[in-house]
Amino acid sequence: MAGFLKLWKQSKEYGFLKEAHSQVLQQALKDLEKAFKDFLNHDKPAHEECRLQKNKGFPNFKKKNIHNSFRYPQGFKIEGNRIFLPKIGWVGFFKSRDIRGIPKNVTIKKENSHWYVSIQTEEEIPEQAHPKIGSIIGIDVGIVHFVSIADGTLNEQFIDFPSPLKMYSKRLAREQRKLSRKKKFSKNWIKQKNRISKIHEDISNIRKDYLHKASTAIAKNHGIVGVEDLKIKNMIKSARGTKENPGHNVRAKSGLNRAILNQGWGMFKEMLEYKLNYSGGILVRVFPKGTSITCPECSYESKENRKSQAVFVCKSCGFTHNADWVGAEIVRQRTAKKLGLVAPLIYPAVGHTVEACGGKGHKPPYEAGTSRKEQSSTAPLGISNL
C-alpha cells in the first residue's frame, strides 16, 4: 500500500501528507495492512494466539484526531536528554530511565496536553532462573478484594487498593455537566473537554501505579504464578438486551461491568506476565470454571458450597474458609497439575491455633480439640512479603 503514497501526496485533496516524513506515513500504512491481514486470517490456526488476545474484526475508519501518535523506524538520533526527529528537529525530553540496548524505533504520542516518547530497544538478555522458582501461588481477581493469593497454606493474603474512579466520581460528574451546557466544538467546549480528559488521565495514572506495584511485588517473590484464563470481554457484555428480549438486573450488571473495567484485570495480568518472563518466572493460565465453588480439600464442586460472597463451606467434608482464598487455592492446584507438579495444601500442626485478622475466623469441623483458624492479612502494595 505504500506505493500509493506518491500519488496521494501529488493530489490536491491529500497534499498535506507532504508535511509528514515518508517513513512515518509508511508505518501507518503497515499498521493498516496488518489489520487487514489479521482480519482475513483470523480463523487460521497460526493466528490463534493473536485472535484470542484481541478481536480481529474489520478495520474501522478513524478520524485524524482520534490517535495522536506516529512512529519512526529509523533516522532518529538520541543524545542525552534530547532526540532528533526527521522533519521536526531536536526535541528535549525528560529521561525517566536509562536507555538500555540498541534503539530500533521511536513512537511519539500525545495524551491530553502532554507529549510522550517511547523508545523500543533490542537487548540480548541471558536466560536466568527465577530465584524463587519453587514458589507456586494461585491468584484470584475480584471486586471486593482486587487480588486474593493462595500459597499452599491456610493464610489469606489480599491486595486491595482504593478505586480511582470512586475518588474522582463527583468531580468527573460535575465537569461533565458543565460540558453538556456548552456549545459543541466551541473554544469553551474544547477547554472543558480537556479538563475532563485530565481527570481521566489522573484516574488512569493512579490505576497503573497500583497495578505496577502489585505485579512487581508478586513477580519478584514468586517464580510460578497461576491465574484464571478469564474472557473479560465476554464478562462485561451489556445485559440491556433488546426490545423483544429485554435484559434483567441491567443496573446491577452495569455496575459490575464498571467495577471490572475500573480494576484493570487484563492490564494487571499483562504486567505480571512480562515481569515474570523477564525475571525467569512463569505465568500459567488455567481453566476458570468452578474455582470458587470447588473444595480444595476434597475437590467436591457445588454451588451450595458458596454460602455467601465471603464464606465457603464444603457440603461434603465441611471445609470452611474465605471464598476468595478458595478460588485462589483451586487456581494454584490447577497450575501445579498443568505443570505436572505436586503442590498439596499445607495445614498447621494439630492443636496449633492461628488467630484470624479481626478475630473473625471460620472453624472447620475437624477432630475434637483441634482448632485451625485461618490467618488473614490485607497487604499494602509493593511490600516484599507477598
Q: What residues contact residue 170 under an 8 Å CB cut-off, 6+ apart?
A: none
Q: Is 160 among the residues known to form the active site?
A: no
Looking at 156, 297, 324, 329, which residue is catalytic?
Answer: 324
**What type of residue sits at position 358?**
G
Beginning with the edge strand found earlier in the chain, give each strand of the sheet holding 147-150 in spatial order: 282-286, 224-228, 136-141, 147-150, 156-159, 376-379
220 φ, ψ to 5°? -75, -35
139 φ, ψ to 5°? -125, 135
Distance set, CA 109 to CA 49, 106, 119, 176 (Å): 27, 10, 11, 25
Q: What residues contact residue 201 under an 8 Å CB cut-off, 6+ apart?
A: 111, 112
Q: Is 202 among the residues known to form the active site?
A: no
247: part of which helix (H) or strand (E)?
none
What DSSP letter does each residue of 262-280 carry, written as one string? HHTHHHHHHHHHHHHHHHT
What DSSP letter does each residue of 281-296 carry, written as one string? -EEEEE--TTTTTB-T
Q: How far apart are CA 68 and CA 70, in angstroms?
A: 7
Segments of 112-220 assigned E as strands: 114-122, 136-141, 147-150, 156-159
Q: Is 196 exposed, middle or buried (0-12, 13-18, 19+ CB in 10 A)?
A: middle
81-85-90 Cα angle (round to 5):
50
The total of other beta-carbon atoms located within 10 Å of residue 67's CB is 11
Greatest Cα-to-Cα distance within the chain, rounded to the nearest angstrom: 89
Looking at 140, 151, 273, 374, which residue is catalytic?
Answer: 140
Q: How far apart are CA 304 and CA 164, in angstroms?
A: 34
Q: Is 209 among the residues known to form the active site?
A: no
Place of cell 492490564: 267
Looking at 151, 228, 329, 374, which residue is catalytic?
Answer: 228
Q: Are strands 77-79 and 82-85 parallel, antiparallel or unpaired?
A: antiparallel
Termini Cα distance of the chain: 51
> Annotated catalytic sites, by residue?
140, 228, 324
